[in-house]
Amino acid sequence: MRAEEALAALRKRFPGVETRPVDPAPGVTVPPQSLREHLVFLRDELAFDFLVFVTALDRPSEGALELVYRLFSHETRVSVVVRVRCPRDGARVPTVSDIFRTAEWHERETAELFGIVFTDHPDPRRLLLPDDLDGYPLRKDFTHPNLIRLPEAR
C-alpha cells in the first residue's frame, strides 16, 4: 500500500477530511475532536502501528498552533503525517497516549514547550523544563533574560 492509498482510505472513511501531498510523507489535517478516531483508524485498519514523533509548530501570524503526528507502518513501510490545528490561546487536544504509548512522553514535552493542554493525559507533569520556568520556550514570542539574539551572520 502506498501513502496515497492510505489517504484515499481516510477520505472514504471520514468524508470532508483535508488531505494534501507533502513531501516526503503525505499528510492529513483533522480537527482536534476527531484526532483520536483518525489515529485509531490509521492504526487498526491501515496498519500504521508506529508513532514516530509528536511535535508542534507555532504559527503566530495565523494565531494557530499546528500539531504534527508522524506515523509509520512497519508492515507497509509507509509514512503519513496527521496534523491538528488549534488556536494559540487555550489550545486543547485530546491525548493519544493510550493509542500509542510513546505519545505520553512526546505529549508531555510538546505541552510544556508549546503550551498545549493534552486532555485526559495520564501524567501531565513537566518532562524536561525546570518547574519554575514561565512561558513556553518553543513559541516564537518566548522571551527570557538569558536568551540573547546573536548578531546576524553575513
Partner 1 sequence: MRNVTFGNRDKMPPTARGTVPAATVVQPLPSASATSDEFLLNIGPQHPATHGVLRVVVTMDGEVVKDIVPHIGYVHRGLEKLFENRTYEQIIPFTDRTDYLSAIANNFAYVRGVEMLLGLEVPRKVEYMRVLMAELNRIASHLLWLAAYGLDMGAFTPFLYAFRDREEIVAMIEEASGGRLTTNYFRVGGFVHDLPKDFFARLRKFLARFGKALNELDTLLVENAIFVARTRGVGVIGKERAVSYGMTGPCLRASNAAFDVRRDMPYSIYPSLEFEIPVGRNGDTWDRSWVRIEEMRQSLAILRQAMEGFPEGEHRARAPRNIEPPAGEVYSAVEGPRGEIGFYIVSDGTRKPYRVKMRKPSFSNFSALPEILRGLKIADLVAVMGSLDLVVPEIDR
Residue placing its CB nearer to partner 1 in the complex, 90 or 130 = 130
| Cα 63 → chain centroid | 16
Residue placing its CB nearer to partner 1 in the complex, 15 or 130 = 130
Residue 121 makes CB contacts below 8 A (sequence gap 6+) with 95, 97, 104, 107, 108, 111
Residue placing its CB nearer to partner 1 in the complex, 35 or 56 = 56
Nearest distance from residue 149's CB to partner 1, in Å?
Answer: 6
The DSSP code sequence of 71-140 is EE-TTT--EEEEEEEEESTT-EEE--TTTSTTHHHHHHHHHHHHT-EEET-S--S-SSS-TT--S-TTST
How do beta strands 27-30 and 18-20 pair?
Answer: antiparallel
Residue placing its CB nearer to partner 1 in the complex, 27 or 94 = 27
Q: Are the C-beta atoms of 110 and 38 separated by less than 8 Å?
A: no
Nearest distance from residue 74's CB to partner 1, in Å?
Answer: 5
Nearest distance from residue 15's CB to partner 1, in Å?
Answer: 27
Binding interface with partner 1 (CB under 8 A): 22-25, 49-53, 55, 57-58, 68, 70, 72, 74, 77, 79, 100-102, 104-106, 113, 125-132, 137-138, 142, 147, 149-150, 153
Residue placing its CB nearer to partner 1 in the complex, 22 or 33 = 22
Nearest distance from residue 65's CB to partner 1, in Å?
Answer: 12
